[in-house]
Structure 1
Amino acid sequence: MTKGNLGVVSDDLKQAVLIVGYGDVGARVARLLRSTRSVYALIRNPARAAAVASDGAVAVIGDLDDAESLAEIVGRTSAVFHAVLHFAPPAMGATDDVRTKNLIAVLYRSTNHRVRHLVYISTTGVYGDCGGRWVDESTPLNPESDRARRRVDAETCLAAWAQDEQAALTILRAPGIYAADRLPIDRIHAHTPAIRAVEDSWSNHIHAEDLARACVRALDLQIAHPADFAQPMIVNIVDDSVLKMGDYFDLVADHFGMPRPPRLTRREAESQVSPAMLSFMRESRRIRNNKMKTSLGYQLRYPTVGGFLAELPSR
């Protein structure tokens, strides 16, 4: 894929962008885009509008769980939206992603100006348990939790929409997201156990800022080279860390001078760890990021968890 110079802001790059799922990563993306694009953010609570404005975005009120509330998106989509950045997680419950289906219904209803670009943050959980083996984008999907099955459903629905609309779609599969305020400090304080090294699962990580910047890079690439997106582009967005889950907890504990979590056998942990955490502990895989560095052309700002922690003051 020829990438060329993405530093020049063209008229296309100044088109309006809608961020759907306005959490930490969404806010970071808004701040990265505000100087080159008109940024809008879908939020449920009007009280958040001021915070959205401080990030350089305009609030659009609507709820992905309530299809009737999304009428404002239809009007704005018909007028201005050129791209959608979809970061909203699926609702808990079923194995399909109703939120993504509601969003797609809105996009189909656009008439005057169709959305041409969409970037979606999915999860590396769609690969399931790989027994610690290395995984890349060609690895068959094997979702083992309802959480992962919902993500596969979202990916499938978005791919169908992109094909119907001849729109560019990039799916970024992300692992556990960390940042200075997204470290397992409370878990370590609570002495929640980890699994002993010989039985432990491999984990994968990405800093929130790297994920946000990768999203912007994905959008820039779509706009600069639309002919390269006849098919969806799927990219794993992970850092260079090679850590088992317990080693990650130890790394954070050591940096902040906290006692390391106790280690248990996997069987012992099953009676002491929450079902949600156990679902993560059961899956072990190591994710390759070659495609992120080559096809997407993204270079990590925080290549490893350890390198990031070294920049933080200890408490």
Structure 2
Amino acid sequence: MTHLLIFGLGYSSRAVVRAAPPGITRITATVRSPDRAAELSSAPVEGRAVTVLPFDGTAMSEQLAGAVATADHILVSAPPDTSGDPVLKACAPALAAHPPKAVVYLSTVGVYGDHAGGWVDETTEPRPASPRSFERLEAERGWQAYGAAHGVPVAVLRLSGIYGPGQNALVNLARGTARRIIKPGQVFNRIHVDDIAQAVLASFARGHDGIVNVTDDEPSPPQDVITYAAELMGVPAPPEIPFEESGLSPMGRSFYGECKRVSNMKLKGELFVKLLHPNFKSALRALAAGGDGRR
């Protein structure tokens, strides 16, 4: 019997719930709103019974303290902010008194910053360029320090751009929101949400301690994803838009300000994850077959 506690029941962590094996017999998760917690607790989440508790990042309820005390595995999907990691801030005494068997922290490949299209791996020195990536790096270090102090393995999973059912280029095309922005030389890595779930569960199963990039096999230009999705749907691709004329928000421009190719050799060689969706083409074909992009 294993109790999984999830801080932040969002898109990626719901995929973990969906893929959780029968050996995980109890699942507790948090959301920010009490009303949302009550709503989600009233019915199965991804086919599983999940106790959903409110946690706004500032105070820990008695119920949440009890969940921390009995958790075997803790998945941290809640983002940090300028004041630090909300779980470490609010739950530090309980975590110190009742260390779990393992922690998985979901971070981002954004901590590597820009490498002008060059390859990065887990040995590459982080040099975050945006405030949100710097906050992630500080949170990583906070969880690593917690693990070292209490003898808990902490897997830091650095995720590439997340997509999957309901959140992908097919859906964006169907909604009319897809844009083919062209910046010569720009590439991104991606990761399907079901492969994130694989990596999380493998980390818990192996008690992995350390950093792992969770990313696909083929960094590629963003416009190629839109073009291929349009081919699958049998619709014209949106017109090309030069990056300089894109009118992106400051956050959007910041994504295009970083270009790197992210290695996943450690994901395969140490966690032994065999990607369900090693590239965007195979993933989009599967998503289209599942109904995404239909009008």
TM-score bucket (shorter structure): 0.7 to 0.9
Distance in 1 (CA, whole Å) between partners of 2:182 and 2:108 is 23
Distance in 2 (CA, whole Å) between partners of 1:278 and 1:185 is 22
Match of 2:237 in 1: 260
Match of 2:167 in 1: 182
TM-score (norm 1): 0.82
Structure-to-structure mapping, 1:1-315, within 5 angstroms:
14-33=1-20, 35-37=22-24, 38-44=26-32, 45=36, 46-52=38-44, 55-67=47-59, 69-78=60-69, 80-91=70-81, 94=82, 96-102=83-89, 104-108=91-95, 111=97, 113-185=98-170, 187-188=172-173, 189-190=176-177, 192-196=179-183, 199-222=184-207, 232-269=209-246, 272-311=247-286, 312-313=288-289, 315=294
How far off is 1:54 after superposition? 5.7
Specify the SS of the correspondent of 2:132: helix
Cα displacement string for residues 188-229 of structure 1 (whole angstroms, at most 9, x for unaligned residues): 423634024xx241101111111111100110001xxxxxx6
TM-score (norm 2): 0.87
Residue type matched to 1:89 in 2?
P
Gaps of 5+ in 1: 1-13, 223-228
Residue type matched to 1:276 in 2?
M
Task: Confirm or deny: 8 A CA contact 1:191 1:262 kept in the other structure.
Answer: no
| Cα 1:137–1:153 shift into 2, 3 Å | same
| Cα 1:99–1:240 shift into 2, 3 Å | same
Task: Confirm or deny: 8 A CA contact 2:44 2:50 kept in the other structure.
Answer: yes
Distance in 2 (CA, whole Å) between partners of 1:22 and 1:106 is 22
How far off is 1:106 after superposition? 4.9
Residue type matched to 2:242 in 1?
T
| Cα 1:252–1:106 shift into 2, 3 Å | farther
Let me know the Cα RMSD of the aligned residues: 2.2
Cα displacement string for residues 128-153 of structure 1 (whole angstroms, at most 9, x for unaligned residues): 11100011111110111111111101
Distance in 2 (CA, whole Å) between partners of 1:297 and 1:107 is 32
| Cα 1:55–1:97 shift into 2, 3 Å | farther
Task: Confirm or deny: 8 A CA contact 2:119 2:261 kept in the other structure.
Answer: yes
**Between the two proteins, what is the percent identity of the paired residues?**
28
Task: Confirm or deny: 8 A CA contact 1:64 1:102 kept in the other structure.
Answer: no
Distance in 2 (CA, whole Å) between partners of 1:256 and 1:208 is 22
Distance in 1 (CA, whole Å) between partners of 2:227 and 2:276 is 23
Distance in 2 (CA, whole Å) between partners of 1:42 and 1:191 is 32
Distance in 1 (CA, whole Å) between partners of 2:21 and 2:215 is 25
How far off is 1:32 after superposition? 2.5
Cα displacement string for residues 143-198 of structure 1 (whole angstroms, at most 9, x for unaligned residues): 111111111011011011111111011011101111131113565423634024xx
Distance in 1 (CA, whole Å) between partners of 2:13 and 2:242 is 38
Distance in 1 (CA, whole Å) between partners of 2:61 and 2:255 is 33
Number of equivalent positions: 283
Task: Confirm or deny: 8 A CA contact 2:219 2:262 kept in the other structure.
Answer: no
